[in-house]
Structure 1
Amino acid sequence: MKSALIVYGGWDGHQPEETSKIVSEALSGREFSVSMETDLDVFLDQDRLRQFDLIIPNWTMGNMTFEQGKSLKEVIESGIGLAGWHGGAGDAFRDNCEFQIMIGGQFVGHPGNMKDYTVDIINPDHEITKGLSSFPMHSEQYYMHIDPAVEVIAATKVNQPTDPWLEGTTMPVAWVRPWGKARVFYSALGHDPSEFKGDCLELLLRGLTWAAK
């Protein structure tokens, strides 16, 4: 059985407790043992962190100390998987550039707020996306700064009539990358608990499982 640690908190607007519980229950259904913490000092306990196959930060904005970030980075580099979704990982710890590099991108906006758009599977041969097809979303369409070293597996065409200079831009939605001996996965989807269903949830669960090796 694989094991995962979800560390949640930060901005309440992303409902970190609710979304963490949804993902915890879903992972349990895929033979994961899941623990949850609400104190970033857990990142200082490397012995405990190394007992997990996967670490999932769900902490929009907030601040992580230098020592917490350094310890987490060392653990990930040693081979413990790192994965997350939406602002809980893609807009976490804005003052910690090393965390942003590990995740592979950073949120900078969602022009137009809630909207209809399509998530396109860019790499249908990847272990995470195999058998999945493009699917519709009604949510925030994240606009992000992306590390060009990541491998994009799903993307979207920006639908933004109020900012026409952005219209049609291809924006990554989900990607993978190595970090040291670890696997890293990120999905920009998951603004609201109601979105954790169907292909959106399936993509996330596959990504979390993959990152846990």
Structure 2
Amino acid sequence: MPKALIIYGGWDGHNPTGFNTWFKDRLEQNGFEVQSLDNLEDLTPESVQVDLIVPHWTMGKIPGEKSNLIREAVLNGTGLAGIHGGAGDAFREDTEFQFMVGGQFVSHPGNIRPYSVQFRDQNHPITQDLTDFDVVTEQYYMHVDPINHVLATTTFDGQYAPWIEGAVVPVAWTRMHGKGRVFYHSLGHALTDMDTPQVETMTVRGLLWAARIE
């Protein structure tokens, strides 16, 4: 049975408790044994010996030795999969964590707003047969690693920041970090975002892909 570790906490505005339940339910439906931790001090070398780590901890601070436990596990082959600020805006001072994820949130001009998402690779196991879609949520402007394999993007219209009009920014990507597979997408400000079929499907497939269950 594959094992997963969910690490949840940080800013309450991203509903870490609710998303912990969402992730846990879907992982268990796919045959995982799941452990959830809401205290970073509870991270141990044993707790990260899993097939998949799911961080959902917006902002906050992580002790260096605890961050290192996660990063070393991924370097050695554990998968990492996260969404929105829970992974893309986690531990802002920890640049090595950002290096592992492959990007960092910097702004969401206009806050909650309608926008569209376009798939760039529809042959990947995560995005196969999915169609472009519209959402009403935060549109993340991110600084991203050029080696990411981009699965989906969004284009900014410049309504709230005219100087970025036409900017095409990744929404979802995969990458390797050492031997570990990493998946991320920037949707999921609220649990209702996950009601969009493409978002739920992409998220669940991303969890499985990162854990090497395909």
Q: Give ranges in structure 2 of 5+ residues lacking alignment.
A: none
1:112–1:160 CA contact under 8 A, matched in 2: no
- Residue number in structure 1 paired with 2:199: 200
Query: Aligned ranges for residues 120-199 of structure 1 at < 5 Å?
Result: 120-197=118-195, 198-199=197-198
Shift of 1:33: 2.2
Shift of 1:105: 0.3
Shift of 1:53: 0.6
- Residue number in structure 1 paired with 2:78: 80
TM-score by length of 2: 0.95
- In the alignment, does 2:53 pair up with 1:55? yes
User: Cα deviation per residue 1:66-99 (whole Å; 9 max; x = unaligned)?
Assistant: 1111222111111011110000000000010000
Q: Give ranges in structure 1 of 5+ residues lacking alignment.
A: none
- What is the distance in 2 between the residues matched to 1:94 and 1:48? 23
Q: Which moved more, 1:133-142 or 1:163-172?
A: 163-172
Structure 2 SS opposite 1:49: coil
Structure 1 SS opposite 2:113: strand
User: Cα deviation per residue 1:99-121 (whole Å; 9 max; x = unaligned)?
Assistant: 00000000001001111111111
2:57–2:90 CA contact under 8 A, matched in 1: yes
User: Cα deviation per residue 1:170-203 (whole Å; 9 max; x = unaligned)?
Assistant: 0100000011111000010000011112111111
Shift of 1:48: 2.6
User: Cα deviation per residue 1:7-58 (whole Å; 9 max; x = unaligned)?
Assistant: 1000001010011111211222222222211111233x112311x1100110
Q: Which amino acid letter does the alignment assign opposite residue 116 of structure 1?
A: P
- What is the distance in 2 between the residues matched to 1:162 and 1:181? 40
Q: Which amino acid letter does the alignment assign opposite residue 65 of structure 2?
A: E
- What is the distance in 2 between the residues matched to 1:34 and 1:88? 18
Correspondent of 1:104 among 83, 102, 105: 102
How large is the RMSD of aligned CA atoms in angstroms? 1.1
Moved over 6 A (4+): none
Query: Aligned ranges for residues 84-95 of structure 1 at < 5 Å?
Result: 84-95=82-93
- Residue number in structure 2 paired with 1:2: 2
- What is the distance in 2 between the residues matched to 1:84 and 1:208? 8
- Residue number in structure 2 paired with 1:41: 41
Q: Which amino acid letter does the alignment assign opposite residue 49 of structure 1?
A: V
User: Cα deviation per residue 1:118-156 (whole Å; 9 max; x = unaligned)?
Assistant: 111101111111111111111000001101111111111
What is the identity percentage for the equivalent residue pairs of Structure 1 and Structure 2? 45
1:156–1:170 CA contact under 8 A, matched in 2: yes
1:22–1:196 CA contact under 8 A, matched in 2: no
Q: Which amino acid letter does the alignment assign opposite residue 72 of structure 1?
A: I
